[in-house]
C-alpha cells in the first residue's frame, strides 16, 4: 500500500478491569481513501478509532500520522461522534464554528466558513436553531459540518448514521460520498453494517472478536463511476463483497 497517512504499529489496549480490547493491531490507512473498520460487536472498533484520534492512549504500540507519533488530539484529525456531541446551549452556527473558535479563528471568518458547510450539508436556514429543535438526522448533519469546517485532512467517523432511520441513512451515505469525492480527505469509518461498509469504502479492515486484531483487508470491487446508488447496490461486485464479508463474519455471531 502506497502513502499511508495513518499507521498503526502493534497497537494494544487493556483496561484496568483486565479486559483486553485490542491486541497487536498493525494497519495502514492510505491518503485520500475511505477505510472502514468492521467486525463483531465488542471487537474494539470504537476504541481503535479513539486511539487514532488521540482521545485515549494505547497500552502498547503506537499510532503515527504522517510519520509523527500521536500523543493526543491534533488539528489534522476531526472526529464525528455517534451521539452527535453537540453543545445543547449553542445554535447550529455556533456548533459548526466551535472547532474554529477553539483554534482562534476570528469570528467573521469562522462564521463564514460555518455558514458554507451548513449549506453544504443541507441545513441552510437552520443557522439559529438549537439542537433540541432538530431531528436526529439534522443533528448528525451538524456534527458532520463541524468536522468538515476545521478542514482536517483526516475525518474519523464513529457509526455516524446508526441513530437515524434507514431512508435517512441511505441519503447520508450518498451525501457523504459526494462531499468527500473531490476533497481528498482520508476517512476512517466505523460501522456494524456490512452493506454500508461495502457501499462507502475503498478498503475494509476486518477485525476479529475481542481482543480485536486485523483478520484481513478487503478491497470491494465496486464500480461506482457515475452510476446511481441503486445501480451500485445491484452491482455484482457490491453483492459479492457483501456476501464474502458475511461468510467470514457470521462464524463469530452468536
**Which residue did the predictor score with more confidence, 253 or 38?**
38
Q: Give one word for 67, left, alpha or beta, with left for phi > 0 and alpha for psi -120 to 50.
A: left
Number of domains in the chain: 1
Q: With respect to residue 218, please indicate whether it lies within any of the assigned structural domains.
A: no
Q: What is the extent of the structural domain holding 126?
A: 86-151
What pLDDT does residue 249 have? 80
Using the structure block, give the residue that is written with the C-alpha cell 483526516.
154
- Rounded Cα gap, residues 253 and 246, in angstroms: 10
**Which residue did the predictor score with more confidence, 204 or 80?**
204
What pLDDT does residue 2 have? 58
What pLDDT does residue 1 have? 55
Average pLDDT over residues 31-55: 91
Q: With respect to residue 196, please indicate whether it lies within any of the assigned structural domains.
A: no
- Rounded Cα gap, residues 50 and 130, in angstroms: 27
pLDDT in tens, 52-79: 999 999 999 999 999 999 999 888 898 8
3-state secondary structure the chain: CCCEEEEEEEEEEECCCCCEEEEEEEEEEECCCEEEEECCCCCCHHHHHHHHHCCCCCCEEEEEECCEECCCCCCCEEEECCCCCCCCCCCHHHHHHHHHHHCCCCHHHHHHHHHHHHHHCCCCCCCCCCHHHCCHHHHHHHHHHHHHHCCCCEEEEECCCCCCCHHHHHHHHHHHHHHHHCCCCEEEEECCCHHHHHHHCCEEEEECCCCECEEEEECCCCCCCCCCHHHHHCCHHHHHHHHHHHHHHHHHCC
Q: With respect to residue 104, please indicate whether it lies within any of the assigned structural domains.
A: yes
Q: Are 206 and 25 in contact (CB under 8 A)?
A: no
What pLDDT does residue 106 have? 93
Q: With respect to residue 107, please indicate whether it lies within any of the assigned structural domains.
A: yes
pLDDT in tens, 162-186: 767 777 788 888 888 877 777 788 9
- 45 pLDDT exceeds 60? yes
pLDDT in tens, 182-201: 778 899 999 988 999 999 89
Q: With respect to residue 132, please indicate whether it lies within any of the assigned structural domains.
A: yes
Q: With respect to residue 163, please indicate whether it lies within any of the assigned structural domains.
A: no
Q: With respect to residue 133, please indicate whether it lies within any of the assigned structural domains.
A: yes
| Cell numbers placing 125 | 436556514
Q: With respect to residue 134, please indicate whether it lies within any of the assigned structural domains.
A: yes
Amino acid at each position: 500500500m502506497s502513502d499511508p497517512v495513518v499507521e498503526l504499529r502493534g497497537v494494544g489496549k487493556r483496561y484496568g478491569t483486565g479486559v483486553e480490547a485490542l491486541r497487536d493491531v498493525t494497519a495502514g490507512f492510505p491518503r485520500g481513501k475511505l477505510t472502514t473498520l468492521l467486525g463483531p460487536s465488542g471487537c474494539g472498533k470504537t476504541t481503535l478509532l479513539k486511539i487514532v484520534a488521540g482521545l485515549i492512549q494505547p497500552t502498547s504500540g503506537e499510532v503515527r500520522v504522517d510519520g509523527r507519533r500521536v500523543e493526543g488530539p491534533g488539528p489534522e484529525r476531526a472526529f464525528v461522534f455517534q451521539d452527535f456531541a453537540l453543545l445543547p446551549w449553542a445554535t447550529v452556527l455556533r456548533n459548526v464554528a466551535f472547532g474554529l473558535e477553539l483554534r482562534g479563528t476570528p469570528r467573521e471568518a469562522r462564521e463564514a466558513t460555518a455558514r458554507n458547510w451548513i449549506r453544504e450539508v443541507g441545513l441552510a436556514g437552520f443557522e439559529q436553531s438549537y439542537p433540541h429543535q432538530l431531528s436526529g438526522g439534522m443533528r448528525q448533519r451538524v456534527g458532520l459540518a463541524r468536522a468538515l469546517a476545521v478542514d482536517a485532512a483526516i475525518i474519523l467517523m464513529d457509526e455516524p448514521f446508526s441513530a437515524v432511520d434507514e431512508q435517512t441513512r441511505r441519503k447520508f451515505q450518498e451525501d457523504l460520498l459526494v462531499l468527500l469525492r473531490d476533497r481528498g480527505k482520508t476517512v476512517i469509518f466505523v460501522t456494524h453494517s456490512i452493506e454500508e461498509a461495502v457501499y462507502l469504502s475503498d478498503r475494509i479492515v476486518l477485525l476479529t472478536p475481542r481482543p480485536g486484531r486485523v483478520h484481513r483487508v478487503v478491497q470491494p470491487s465496486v464500480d461506482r463511476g457515475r452510476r446511481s446508488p441503486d445501480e451500485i447496490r445491484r452491482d455484482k461486485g457490491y453483492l459479492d463483497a457483501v456476501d464474502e464479508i458475511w461468510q467470514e463474519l457470521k462464524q463469530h455471531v452468536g
